[in-house]
Structure formats: C-alpha cells, structure tokens
C-alpha cells in the first residue's frame, strides 16, 4: 500500500511539474509573439497626428510623447510592490515582483510572484489566468471564454494609457472624444471587442487618473458585469522620448466608497523591444 501511495504521489507531482513547464512555455511563446508586433522601422511622432483630437487628449500626447520619438506600441515593464489576495476589509497585501509585455490591442502577459507567506506565482494574459502556490499547486486556471477575453481586453487597453501611449494614437480601431475640460475618452475596437477608457490629465497633460467600466466578476455575487475600475498614476520619468508613470495604484469600484486598490506597484524598468529590420 505504501508503494502504491508513493507511486500515486509521484504521478501527481510529475503531472504538476509538466503542467508548470507547459505554462511557462506558453508564456514564452506569447511573449515572443507580442514582441514581434513592434515595428521594425518605426515612424516618428509628430504633433500634426493629434491636431484634431479633443484638447485633453492633445495635452495627454503632448506630455507623454516628445516630437520625433519613434512610435513604439509594445513595451516591457518590470515592477515590484504589493498585490492583495484579500478584500478591502482584510486586504492581505503581499510583496510581489512582476514582469510584463504590453501590446494593445493584441494582448499582454503579466508574470508575477509574491514573496513571504504562502508564495503565489503564475501569469495573466489575454488568453489565460494561471496561478499556483509553492510554484506547483494550481489555485486559478481560467481563460478561453468570452468573459475572460472581454475582461482582459479592458485591462490591457487601460494599461496602454499608462505605459504605451503610442498604441493609442488615432487610427483604425482607435477613436477619441471629449468628456470634460481635463478628461478624454479613448475607445479601442478589435474584432468583436470594444473598450472605452477615460484619462484625466493635469494642466501639463500628465495623466493622473485612468478609469473605465470593466467586465468583471470581482463582486460579492461573483457574476460578470460592468463595474468601475481605475487608479492613479504618479512618479513620471522619461524613457526613450516617452514620459511614463513609475508608480501605479489601481483597483475595483474606482470612484466609489467601495474602491479597493489591490494593485500597488513601483516600476523598476521600462523597455521598448526592437525588432531587427
């Protein structure tokens, strides 16, 4: 009996290890696919491109992209900070590190791991959400359905306002409209997917607040529905002609008394991968 149990344990552990290896391989494949979307020969940003946009949008691009900067819509971001595994009442923040590739409107990969306590690691993307404890035991395996796809699309469109403003320059599938004196709304469409996101800028054009209605089941009913999501941006630094936030706070129910910032990060590096011509 002991031998049988040992064999069963070995089979289970082997299956879990194989699953982790396959997941990591999928991360690498998707990362390479998205990195390859960077143009080999990039156009240069000129203010004339944004001349017909609403004034807050012109201010946003005037601040985030310097004239003459290569138009690079794909970025890699390294970050560390705190990620909540709990609720507003009991947030249970954990120190974490993550790396991300962002290529709106085509996708993203966010690979993270927490530190201390029961370690959680895994990745989020436009195609899956896969996390495990102790690097082995699955605690979340989602994706491949319309709800996940729609929710993920909202995330990476919104995050492109943070870190890849070039991805949101006006063009096919991307339109801008005014909301108020300091707020503009960008709407991104790709196939059947559509997401509108509001960005609020200060007098200099610095984007200080991003908000949108996200398709999510992060609610007491655990039912997918549109609900407020958003956050605050700060600590702007120049990276290759772009001025980007190195501090982000974001969470569910943004703008209400139920707002819960579960994502608190400081960026440690931003890169724009280049594809050889």
Sequence-ordered list of residues with C-beta below 8 angstroms from that of 145, at least 6 positions apart, any chain: none
pLDDT per residue of the chain (277 residues) written in tens, 0 to 9: 586 666 665 666 777 777 788 889 999 999 999 999 999 999 999 999 999 999 999 999 999 999 999 999 999 999 999 999 888 888 889 999 999 999 999 999 999 999 877 899 999 999 999 999 887 788 888 898 999 999 999 999 999 999 999 999 999 999 999 999 999 999 999 999 999 999 999 999 999 999 999 999 988 899 999 999 999 999 999 999 999 999 999 999 999 999 999 999 999 999 999 865 5
pLDDT value for 6? 63
pLDDT value for 116? 79
pLDDT value for 20? 82
Task: Please state, in angstroms and rounded to a whole number, the distance separating the CA atoms of residues 205 and 228.
Answer: 23
What three-state secondary structure class fits 83? Answer: strand
Task: Please state, in angstroms and rounded to a whole number, the distance separating the CA atoms of residues 40 and 250.
Answer: 33
pTM: 0.92
Place of tokens 């300091």: 182
pLDDT value for 245? 98
pLDDT value for 1? 57
Backbone torsions φ then ψ of 206, nearest 5 degrees: -65, 125
Full 3-state SS string of 167-215 = HHCCECCEEEEECCCCEEEEEEEECCEEEEEEEEECCCCCEEEEEEEEE
What three-state secondary structure class fits 43? Answer: coil
pLDDT value for 70? 97
Q: Is the N-terminal amide bond of 105 cis, ω within 30° of 0?
A: yes
Task: Please state, in angstroms and rounded to a whole number, the distance separating the CA atoms of residues 233 and 162.
Answer: 8
What three-state secondary structure class fits 120? Answer: strand
Task: Please state, in angstroms and rounded to a whole number, the distance separating the CA atoms of residues 36 and 27.
Answer: 14
pLDDT value for 15? 72
């Amino acid at each position: 009996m002991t031998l049988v149990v040992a064999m069963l344990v070995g089979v289970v552990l082997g299956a879990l290890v194989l699953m982790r290896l396959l997941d990591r391989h999928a991360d690498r494949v998707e990362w390479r696919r998205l990195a390859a979307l960077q143009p080999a020969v990039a156009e240069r940003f000129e203010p004339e491109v944004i001349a017909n946009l609403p004034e807050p949008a012109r201010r946003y691009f005037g601040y985030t992209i310097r004239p003459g900067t290569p138009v690079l819509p794909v970025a890699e971001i390294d970050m560390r900070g705190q990620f909540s595994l709990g609720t507003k009442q009991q947030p249970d923040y954990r120190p974490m590190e993550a790396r991300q590739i962002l290529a709106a409107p085509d996708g993203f990969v966010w690979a993270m791991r927490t530190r201390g306590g029961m370690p959680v690691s895994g990745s989020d993307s436009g195609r899956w959400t896969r996390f495990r404890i102790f690097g082995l035991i699955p605690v979340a395996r989602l994706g491949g359905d319309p709800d996940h796809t729609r929710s993920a699309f909202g995330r990476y469109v919104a995050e492109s306002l943070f870190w890849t403003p070039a991805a949101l320059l006006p063009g096919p599938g991307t339109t801008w409209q005014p909301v108020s004196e300091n707020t503009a709304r960008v709407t991104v469409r790709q196939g059947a997917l559509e997401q509108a996101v509001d960005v609020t800028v200060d007098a200099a054009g610095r984007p200080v607040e991003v908000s949108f209605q996200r398709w999510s089941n992060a609610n007491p009913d655990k039912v997918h529905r549109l609900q407020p999501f958003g956050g605050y941006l700060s600590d702007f630094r120049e990276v290759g002609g772009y001025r980007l936030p190195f501090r982000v706070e974001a969470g569910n129910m943004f703008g209400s008394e139920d707002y819960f910032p579960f994502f608190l990060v400081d960026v440690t590096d931003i890169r724009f991968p280049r594809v050889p011509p």
